[in-house]
Structure 1
Amino acid sequence: MHKYSMAHLTGNGADPITATEAAAKAGYDMVSYRFLPAGPGDTPPPLLEDDKLFAETLAAMKANGLGIIDVEMMRLAQGTDLQHFKPLMERAAQLGATSIVTAIDDTDRARAIDAYCRLCEMAEPYGIAAELEFMPWTGCKTIRDALEFMDATTSKSAAILFDTLHFDRCGSTLDDISAIPADKINYVQLCDALADYDKSDEGLIYVARQARLIPGRGDIDFAPIMKRLPKDVPISIEIPDKPLVEEMGLDAFLRATLEETKALVDRIEAEA
């Protein structure tokens, strides 16, 4: 049976306490938080530096019976000091998270692979995986790119974060999904999207961060994807859509994200 996590972006700007309580109310099993910016120029989230907020967030998780798989995020650019991520790893371990979303901004493949391998070694003592997310506008664009990183290290902390949106738009194939070793998939991210979209980097980033759809409301064919993923893999639902939240209210929106995703996954698996 799948467990379901509410991704940070699905909170659509809610503070950590509100997001935690709303996730539990909607029926989610787990929740996720962002500790470092997702992109250049983004405002640093307060959780890393604010000890009081961190303690209150941890208490809210426990009070609401929520678990956690991942936190966000580590970005590897040219010259990134890996020690910058140590406080994040410590916070993640304190929460009980076992994965940190990781992105590659460095376009020099050899240098990026070296940095990722060292990052994995750094994460191992914390029991945390550096979840490498392939995204078509980054230095790790496809599943095959991500597998190249995996082949370069024997670290237990090396893993691939599979996201249905990025898979739909990066040119990878269903056979590529099958090529990912099962032990390199700790969880997956699900959302839907339209078949007609802006293929520029700016357009891809806009949809990824602001305009994803609830599974079943777009054009992604989930059945062949789910059949190639590990059985009972935990599912993180990632759906940033502030206009819909404003229309429905956060509680109703979160219920819809979870109920509709569960229904779609259950239907696919019943027909398999």
Structure 2
Amino acid sequence: MPQNPKFLNLVLLSGEPEHKLRAARAAGFGQVEIWREDIDASTPQLANALNLGFTNVQVLRDFTGAPGDERLQKRAELREFIRLAQTIGCDTIQAPATTREDCIPERIDEDLRWLASEAARYNMRIMYEPMAWCSVDNTLPLAWQRLQRLDQPNIGLVVDLFHICALGGDASQLDGIPADRIYEVQLCDMADVPPQGKEALSEYARHQRLLPGDGIIDVARFVDKLKSAGYCGPVGIEVFNDDLKAQPADVAAQRAWQALNRYWP
């Protein structure tokens, strides 16, 4: 894998999946984060024609600690994600920490071990993301503590600047995390400190994130820390923003490419 592949999360773009893939590639991105809903029969052939790779398939929600029979349903869902990932030649699935209030915390370690083992059978990796509104592991330090304890070689962290900074964190949260245990870095920004509370945070995150450099996050500090640590994994843009999504996909993709290259040329 080349150093620091640059990706765009397709959530930024409007339009049909083919249009989004073409817009991302034309802007300069070599990879995309693709959502399960954007994968169709033409995706593998189009990606091959565009020489476009996939950073991961999104997003296996609320897998860990699922109560009752839902645990088996989630395991079946993982297998469907694996099938989709194999179809498009992708080796990574994103599975954030759970947001459920009725999760069973005592099951989480066991579920992650099973997740790692099942993914490994297909040479797949799992990206574990601490989100600000998760009911467990809602910060990078907490998620890293869990992964250290479990010591599964094919589960790594997602570093998302929004989720760190939304709860008052900063780049110091990267201290002590080996670069090879970070599977992906998602850059973004925000206009101000978002409202607290899970629903308010989630609502803000899904509609009002900004491109890096357009808000208050010290993006450069994060970048300096990551480069100093020798991080060579994927780095890209994950921005949920209604105004940007209303723009033509090629325009939004080009703006994202320019913003990314200001910080990671």
User: TM-score range, shorter-chain basis?
Assistant: 0.7 to 0.9
How big is each residue's C-alpha offset from its partner over 1:179-236, in whole Å with a ceiling of 9 and x where there is no partner? 2122211221111112232112122112222221011111100122112224343212
Work out the CA distance in 2 between the residues paired with 1:203 and 1:64: 38
User: Which blocks of at least 5 consecutive residues in structure 1 are unaligned?
Assistant: 36-44, 48-52, 267-272
Q: CA deviation at 1:149?
A: 2.2
Are residues 1:91 and 2:84 paired?
yes
The alpha-carbon deviation at position 46 of structure 1 amounts to: 6.7
Give the CA deviation at 1:172.
3.9
SS state at 1:60 partner: helix
* Secondary structure of the structure 1 residue equivalent to 2:261: helix
One-letter code of the match for 1:127? N
- Structure 1 residues 254-269: aligned runs within 5 Å: 254-266=253-265
Pairing 1:220-239 to 2, within 5 Å after superposition: 220-229=217-226, 230-239=230-239
> How big is each residue's C-alpha offset from its partner over 1:118-159, in whole Å with a ceiling of 9 and x where there is no partner?
111111122222111001211220112111221232322111
* Offset at residue 102 of structure 1 (A): 0.9
**Per-residue CA distance 1:39-92 (angstroms, 9 max, x = gap):** xxxxxx374xxxxx2x30111111111011111111215232213211211221
8 A contact 1:93–1:127 mirrored in 2: no
- Shift of residue 262, structure 1, vs aligned partner: 0.7
* Matches for 1:74-85 after TM superposition, within 5 Å: 74-75=60-61, 76=63, 77-79=65-67, 80-81=71-72, 82-85=75-78
Pairwise CA distance, 1:171: 4.2
Aligned to 1:101: 94
Aligned residue pairs, count: 249
**Residues 16-25 or 94-103, more deviating:** 94-103
Alpha-carbon distance between aligned partners in 1 of 2:166 and 2:254, rounded to the nearest angstrom: 27
In structure 2, stretches of 5+ residues that fail to align are none
Residue 48 of structure 2 is aligned with which of 62, 71, 90? Answer: 62
TM-score by length of 2: 0.86
Tell me the equivalent position of 1:183: 180
Q: Which residue pairs with 1:194 in the alignment?
A: 191
The correspondence for 1:110, drawn from 106, 112, 133, is 106
Change (3 A) 1:214 1:97: same
Are residues 236 and 125 of structure 1, via their aligned partners in 2, closer, same or farther at CA, if it must alter by over 3 Å?
farther
**What is the Cα deviation at residue 28 of structure 1?**
0.9
Q: Could you tell me the TM-score, scaled by structure 1's length?
A: 0.84
Question: How many Å apart are 1:173 and its aligned residue?
Answer: 4.5
Report the CA distance shift for 1:176/1:240 in structure 2 as closer, same or farther (over 3 A): closer
Query: What residue in structure 2 maps to residue 10 of structure 1?
Result: 12
Residue of structure 2 in register with 1:242 after alignment: 242
Distance 1:66 1:263 in 2: 22
Which protein, 1 or 2, shows the higher relative CO under an 8 Å CA cutoff with sep ≥ 6? 2
Identity of matched residues, %: 22
Measure the CA separation in 1 of the matches of 2:196 and 2:238: 20
Contact 1:8 / 1:31 at 8 angstroms: preserved in 2? yes
